[in-house]
Amino acid sequence: MIAPDKAKELAVEWAMVTAASQVTDVELGARLVAPPEIPDIMQRHRVVEITVRDTLPPRVVLVAVGGDGQVWEMPGEFNAVMAAEGLTIAGQAQALGIIELYLQLSRQGQVLLLRGAADIPFEDGYWTNPRQFEDTVYPPEVEAVDEGYRLDFYSWSELGGLLERWHCLATRRGEVVVYETTVVANLVGDAVIVQ
């Protein structure tokens, strides 16, 4: 695996060339939590979070840096990273694990794969109460198909309080094919708004 300092250096170089802008912060693997179903995931890559000041507010870019120095932007190049990782997904729990990883790498802030509306954090009472969606949000449905596992599930993102419904495929090689994503509601739960 690539050394942490080298991963940061390559990520910053990539951001400077790609965004042609000022990089203000670089953090190694800050958001990546390996799913318990696939503890050895991301053995050949390091995830780097980069704050780039090419827009207001500054944007956060996640990249995976491989041992060969290749930099992959997330989530668009997620499948290339999974192919390089050489994963084999065997079972519904691992399919859900790869989806949880995909969600972490595709949204800013906290993101949750929901088992129900009660999973959505809600303390301050300022935004929409997640209980409104108790009859809408259901646990993930996973079905084995020839290519891997078809999944229907809901997610919640802290940024904007975004409640989404997903239809996707987790292939046996760990790739994710998103068929459809529908925004059910925003400003749900303990949402964070960036202005």
For 180-190, write each residue's pLDDT tens digit. 999 999 999 99
User: Tell me, what's the pLDDT at 8?
Assistant: 67
User: Tell me, what's the pLDDT at 180?
Assistant: 97
Backbone dihedral region for residue 109 (phi beyond 0: left; psi -120 to 50: alpha; all else: beta): left
User: Tell me, what's the pLDDT at 138?
Assistant: 97
The share of the chain scoring above pLDDT 70, in percent, equals 78
Q: Which of 37-41, 61-65, 109-113 has the highest mean pLDDT?
A: 109-113
156 vs 138: CA distance, rounded Å: 13
pLDDT tier at 63 (50, 70, 90 boundaries)? confident
90 vs 123: CA distance, rounded Å: 38
Q: Is the pLDDT of residue 112 over 90?
A: yes
Q: Under a CB-based contact definition with an 8 Å cutoff, are residues 81 and 105 in contact?
A: no
Q: Which of 85-94, 98-107, 149-158 has the highest mean pLDDT?
A: 149-158
User: Tell me, what's the pLDDT at 9?
Assistant: 72
DSSP structure class, residue 141: E
Give, in degrees to the nearest 5, the angle at Cα 66 between 64 and 69: 110
The pLDDT tens digits of the residues spanning 125-175 come to 789 999 999 999 999 999 999 999 999 999 999 999 999 999 999 999 999
